[in-house]
Amino acid sequence: MNIYDYKTFEINSLSQAQFLIKNNFPRKINFIHKYNSVVWQGPIYLKTIYNNIISKKVNYIVETRDDIGLFISLINLKFKFFALSS
């Protein structure tokens, strides 16, 4: 699966993701969840979003910057795509 071929959107909530999925139904899409909202929403909420939106047409990418604790928490929750920066 080549994520560069998909249309990409920045999201902050489950409702935004569901709205974008509904409006882009036939397309394959990427969602990037930015670090600023990830920090205060936490890994459990991110897992809820992941469970509700993931499909063959959707990639959910979480930005963790250099937060190793958050990165490890998301690995334990079986996330597959991350955006890291140092």
pTM: 0.84
Task: Name every residue whose Cβ is closer than 8 Å to that of residue 67 and which is 6 or more positions away in sequence.
Answer: 35, 39
Rounded Cα distance between 28 and 21, Å, is 9
Identify the band that residue 19 occupies on the pLDDT scale cut at 50, 70 and 90: very high
**Most confidently predicted of 15-19, 56-60, 81-85:** 15-19
pLDDT band at 86 (very low <50, low <70, confident <90, very high): low
Q: Is residue 68's pLDDT more than 90? A: no
| Distance, CA of 4 to CA of 6 (rounded, Å) | 6
Confidence band of 38 (pLDDT split at 50, 70, 90): very high
Return the residue matching tokens 């890291």. Answer: 84
The token duo for 39 is: 């920090």
Does residue 48 surpass a pLDDT of 90?
yes
Average pLDDT, the chain: 89
Strand partners, 60: 31
